[in-house]
Amino acid sequence: MLIIGLTGSIATGKSTVSSLLSSAPHSLPVVDADVLAREVVEPGTRGYRAIVKHFGPMAPDLLFPASDTMPENGPDGKGRPLNRAVLGRLVFGDEPQMQKNRAVLSSIVHPAVRLGMVKMVTACYLKGHWAVVLDVPLLFESKLDKFCGVTMVVAVTEPETQLRRLMDRNPDLSREDAENRVKSQMDVRLKAERCLSAGPGKGVALWNDGSKEELKTQLDEELRKLKAANPEWWSWLMLGCPPLAVALASWRFWQNIQAEKRWREAQEKERSD
């Protein structure tokens, strides 16, 4: 089974591509990291309890207040929901304490998200899907690209296009706010360059400077190539012979490590020239 790592940057069209991949005619299963990140901290989960235990003493209003419509123990008895705005004020910022809080939150959420991904990908493998999509905004930053058979970056060629789309989508943002949000992430053109450096058949860059129809045309063509290189009979063979599947996954993992090493060496050489 082919694991397609999908990423991009804010306002480049990653969500649009994810939706297209999950819809007909592709109908691929999508494992969304953002959805999992919300699910693993829902009331009653281990992540929820860990967050309440650590951050509760810092913020009495960490949970939504009890009321006539919100019982003390939550609507289902598992606890009141987290107030994400309050949690955000504890972890987003450059102050040393905020950085520590962010590291703690990451140590709670990230392992749970990765475990959820493993479970969902395994389920897709057992069902015989020829491919599964890992929709991860920080695919390279989180090192999850190493587990993918191919990485797919949705990008735009001009920074101004990204800024304009972000401001159109969020009219309340000033240009400075929009620029700060874009700068807070790895440059999407650099992501595309890194993706393509893996070589033919290993990295796909979808340039979303035009219409949704043009983006869909690019995606359809790239999926046609990927499916031709990874036919469904191959997925059933992997399912019927788990040792072969493990060997192939290990080989891809090693290839991805080597590709990253070459990329970093090239970047160092470019900076030194």
Q: Domain segments of the chain: what residues?
A: 1-29+129-273, 34-128
**pLDDT computed for residue 142 by the predictor:** 85
pLDDT in tens, the chain (273 residues): 899 999 998 899 999 999 999 999 999 999 999 899 999 999 999 999 999 999 999 999 998 888 888 888 888 888 889 988 888 888 876 788 888 988 899 899 989 999 999 999 999 988 889 999 999 988 998 889 999 999 999 999 998 899 899 889 888 878 887 787 787 778 899 999 999 988 888 999 999 999 999 999 999 999 999 999 888 888 888 888 888 888 988 999 999 999 889 888 888 888 887
Please tell us whether the domain made up of 1-29+129-273 is placed in CATH 1.20.1630.10. Answer: no
DSSP characters over 37-63 = HHHTTSTTSHHHHHHHHHHGGG-TTSB
Q: Look up the pTM and report it.
A: 0.85
Do 185 and 9 contact (CB within 8 A), yes or no?
A: yes
CATH class of segment(s) 34-128: alpha beta
Q: Bridge partners of 133? A: 4, 30
